Structure 1
Amino acid sequence: MEKNRNKQIILATVLISYFLIILSNSVIFTGIVDIQHELSLSTKTLSWVSNSYSLTFGGLLLLSGRLSDIFPKKIVFSVGIIIFGITSLLVGIANTGTLLILARAVQGIGASIIAPTSLALLLDTFDGMERTKAIALYGATAGIGSSVGLVLGGLFASLWTWRIGFLINFPLAAVLLVIVFKYVTSKTSKQAISIDYWGSILSILAVASLLYAMTADNNQIIFLIIGVILLAVFVILESRIVKLS
């Protein structure tokens, strides 16, 4: 009975953490006008509020999943929650565009850790039909969370402030962290697994340079060349890794 209760608590923790990731993006979408007005951001600068998060989240997703295969998932997941919670607070209190963009970039790192590790925790916790149901709920959270997140984000932005959507992440992350340490058990892979740090870094820098070349007011050609070079180096590096494997 107690084992089943622990499983349900872990499931709830995973689903809530995943929902918070989706909510953070939804709040940006619904509060974008207020953010621009409140922080006096240009249209090009405003685009980096979303770009910075997407770059780190997408660029580090595979790396974070790899880390959860090597190190105890409980520790990796906890680190993701800590990063996400603290940076959500920084986003919520940001008074400049620079701080907001930097906080969003680091928040993306936390989200990239939470997303794959939370799914891995479900696979470790559940078996058989229970695992199938848990993964189905996990997938449904993405769809439901996107819709509900937009509604909540709109309410926060219209009734109070867009900052609420990020500030509430901090206490929720603290609660989730306590639950993780109490109910989640650590499991470590015994296999020797290599980690492609450089591939993740190069992919982020390459895409960031290309995006900046498209949005910058000057030096577009320089950043375009840098982006193309970094992208070429990334392709060469990854092709060598594939051959060695």
Structure 2
Amino acid sequence: MAQIGKAPCDDTLILHGTNPPTEEGACPEASKPWVLAAAIVGSSMAFIDGTVVNVALPAIQADLNATAFQAQWVVESYALLLAALLLVGGALGDHYGRRRIFAIGVVVFAVSSVGCALAADVQQLIAARAVQGIGGALLVPGSLALISASFPEKERGKAIGTWSGFSGITAAVGPVLGGFLVDHFSWIWAFLINVPMALLVLWIVRRHVPESKGAAARGGLDLWGALLATAGLGGIVYAFIEAPTQSWRSPAVLAALAIGVVGSIGFVIAERRARTPMLPLSLLRIGNFSGANLLTLLLYAALGGGLYFFPLNLIQVQGYSATVAGAALLPFIFLMFALSGWAGQLVDRFGPRLPLVIGPAIAAVGFALFALPGVGASYWSGFLPAVVVLGFGMTVTVAPLTTTVMNAVGPDLAGVASGVNNAVSRAAAVLAIAVFGAVMAWAFDAALAERLQAMGASDEVRAFLTAERDRLAAAGAPPGADAATAAVVKRAVAESFVAGFRWVMLLSAGLAVLSAVSAWLMIRRAPTEESNNKP
């Protein structure tokens, strides 16, 4: 699952670009519970959608006759635009009204969800998911900004805690609910479930949520930064997803890669010149901030890229139902939320460096454990130990990572810093899914060729599987093949996918180790007066 559990700085993203109310509060007392309800239900739409789609992908791939790389685009088109436009979405709320932009985001998200459900082919679904990502970029920061705008500082901690608690419930229930809908109804209900939630949110917003704007409304919007970030991310993602089928020498792939590189360079230049940049480059001169973001990039690339393939393994290779696959990461989520209070105290006791070295190192062990099970593995003995170890490693990491980001810059820049770090975690997952998809394709093709040669497959079987290889684990036996041949081919395909899955998980483990090394080298041993270095 591309976005499992909580991203770093999710809670503190509430501070981004806000203009906190006075103690009396601009929001009427009677409206505050309604504001919190709208924020919870609204953000839950995006959280659920970010997890259930992975569980639904095998059914989507089968129903729409999609390749594995088209299935990647179903996830990536949404995640790409959400990551690239997240900070701009928050700034739009500050400029034009948080209530207004939040409501627009809910409408766009709901309408595009209906578009996803009505998609007649995978291309239409990908397009609808892209629009859904735009809606999410307005909806997610808008839901958080409503809390900041409506609750004075002395009440905000309780409101954030309530929002965070419900986010934990959503993270746990979402994949299981999505799996149940896929197993008992259809994958389209994984999208249609957003419609009644959106109607409820819009009713609350219309009746009970006051309008507010932020201090940032006096600044400018970093539209060039948003466009260049989208071009940079999109070009690189397109190149890595399409290269396995079009080849790296394809003009389209080379052009996309060039756009990605030029867009990324242009983004850096634009941020140097923008009045209100999405990414204030001066923040990167702060040691703990740059170290924390490098760690975030590496570790969340491992998490997003590795866990994207986990439900596909469980459903398409191990034969689990979508409901069971959706429940497979519940221990991970339970650990993160049950131990979040304990993990939040680690920086106070040990400083930021030690937990940010130990946590990713434990996570690396968890990723490595995912590489052990083969075809037909038991969840309890094969996958559960990996889920638990990885969950504990991320638990040790996330709260100290958020604290380190916040402490590195001080209260005045805490909102900007948390927004940047949150966006980095999402962009890391987007890039990793694309890159890991190319690694999976290479390993799968090599393993399948080896197994076909070992089984003495006929030319007909080889030709059929060559045409089917872009479906990865969904590839089947040639029509009319006898039962014995079909069983051997199915086993070869499953073992080839597991071979690729092992490469992906070992690569994830390597990235987690690198993130621990980056913390060791760049994060100071104890909180220091970095405020002297703040821009």
Give TM-score, length-normalised by structure 2.
0.44
Matched, 1:209 2:242: no
CA deviation string 1:179-221 (max 9, x = no partner): 1011111123465111001111111111111111112133222
Match of 1:188 in 2: 213
Matched, 1:17 2:42: yes
2:34–2:209 contact (8 Å) kept in structure 1: no
Match of 2:199 in 1: 174
Q: Which has the higher helix share?
A: 1
1:72–1:188 contact (8 Å) kept in structure 2: yes
Match of 2:128 in 1: 103
**Which amino acid in structure 2 is aligned with residue 213 of structure 1?**
A
Matched, 1:159 2:184: yes
Match of 1:144 in 2: 169
Provide the rounded CA distance (Å) in 1 between the counterparts of 2:155 and 2:74.
38
SS state at 2:218 partner: coil
Provide the rounded CA distance (Å) in 1 between the counterparts of 2:134 and 2:52.
18
Match of 2:476 in 1: none
Provide the rounded CA distance (Å) in 2 between the counterparts of 1:202 and 1:141.
34
Give TM-score, length-normalised by structure 1.
0.93
Match of 1:113 in 2: 138
**Which amino acid in structure 2 is aligned with residue 210 of structure 1?**
I
Match of 1:228 in 2: 261
Matched residue count: 243
Q: CA RMSD in A?
A: 1.9
Greater relative contact order, per chain length (Cα 8 Å cut-off, separation 6+): 1
CA deviation string 1:152-202 (max 9, x = no partner): 011111111121121121232122112101111112346511100111111
CA deviation string 1:132-161 (max 9, x = no partner): 111112223333212110110111111111
**Which amino acid in structure 1 is aligned with residue 46 of structure 2?**
I
2:109–2:135 contact (8 Å) kept in structure 1: yes
2:40–2:167 contact (8 Å) kept in structure 1: no
Shift of 1:4: 4.2
SS state at 2:186 partner: coil
Provide the rounded CA distance (Å) in 2 between the counterparts of 1:100 and 1:13.
27
Provide the rounded CA distance (Å) in 2 between the counterparts of 1:138 and 1:147.
14
Match of 1:68 in 2: 93
Match of 2:160 in 1: 135
SS state at 1:131 partner: helix
Shift of 1:233: 1.2
Between 32-41 and 224-233, report the one with greater CA deviation: 224-233
Provide the rounded CA distance (Å) in 2 between the counterparts of 1:21 and 1:127.
26
Identity, % of aligned positions: 32
Provide the rounded CA distance (Å) in 2 between the counterparts of 1:222 and 1:187.
43
**Which amino acid in structure 2 is aligned with residue 118 of structure 1?**
S
Q: Greater Rg, structure 1 or structure 2?
A: 2
SS state at 1:221 partner: helix
CA deviation string 1:21-58 (max 9, x = no partner): 11112220111100000001111111000000011101
CA deviation string 1:214-241 (max 9, x = no partner): 1213322222122111111111111223
